[in-house]
């Protein structure tokens, strides 16, 4: 039996295969979980019942997506903020908090990393351009280095918000050359947790180091 990996869906205004608005997850992300031996399951973002809904799953993957509302972390409004959705924010933050507290294995990617940071009381830079459509080398340490088996990795980035102040218990395990936090882990966590600011799914099909992040999640699950 493949371990069940919950992946919160993202709201989409349209999808080419559908006639109306959609709830989606990136195909590359889903395929990376499948290659790792997991059963990827998109879950509907809805308020309430988060703890009971997550009980049936063996692990959680918080994926990338639109921006978190600056209101969630005391940030200032900015014209660059996009695709903010109050229901999505509420659900993702609840999933992050519940998963961390329960000790269920959790891999967080891009927006997912930011969500965990905010859920743990941290803040974000509302806009820090220069990391969209960028692939740059990132030096790794800690758990993320152990998992990937490398000390430097090519990080595929598409974001403009990133960690400002760290959430409670988080330690930085990777930074970009300009100081941007690229990976964190949680000291004293009840369970397995890794978060990266880049998108490992972009090259996981051809780069074993990136795929090992998904393998580790499924292995822990």
Q: Which residues are tagged catalytic?
A: 110, 199, 201
Cα–Cα distance between 217 and 106 in angstroms, integer?
A: 7
* Residue 85 dihedral angles phi and psi, to the nearest 5°: -140, 120
Identify whether the C-beta of residue 78 lies closer than 8 Å to the C-beta of residue 157: no
Is 191 exposed, middle or buried (CB count within 10 Å of its CB: 0-12, 13-18, 19+)? Answer: middle
Cα–Cα distance between 15 and 209 in angstroms, integer?
A: 31
């Amino acid at each position: 039996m493949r371990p069940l990996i919950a992946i919160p869906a993202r709201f989409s205004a349209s999808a080419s295969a559908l006639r109306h608005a959609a709830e989606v997850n990136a195909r590359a992300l889903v395929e990376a979980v499948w290659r790792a031996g997991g059963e990827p399951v998109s879950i509907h973002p809805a308020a309430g019942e988060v703890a009971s809904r997550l009980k049936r799953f063996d692990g959680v993957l918080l994926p990338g997506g639109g921006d978190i509302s600056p209101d969630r972390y005391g940030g200032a409004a900015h014209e660059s903020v996009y695709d903010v959705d109050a229901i999505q924010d509420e659900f993702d933050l609840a999933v992050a908090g519940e998963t961390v507290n329960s000790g269920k294995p959790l891999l967080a990617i891009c927006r997912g990393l930011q969500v965990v940071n905010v859920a743990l009381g941290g803040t974000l830079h509302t806009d820090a351009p220069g990391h969209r459509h960028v692939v740059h080398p990132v030096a790794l340490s800690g758990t993320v280095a152990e998992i990937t088996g490398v000390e430097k990795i090519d990080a595929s980035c598409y974001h403009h918000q990133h960690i400002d102040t760290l959430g409670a218990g988080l330690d930085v395990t990777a930074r970009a050359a300009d100081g941007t936090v690229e990976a964190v882990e949680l000291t004293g966590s009840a369970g397995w947790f890794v978060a990266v600011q880049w998108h490992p799914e972009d090259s996981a099909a051809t780069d074993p180091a990136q795929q090992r992040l998904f393998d580790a999640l499924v292995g822990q699950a």
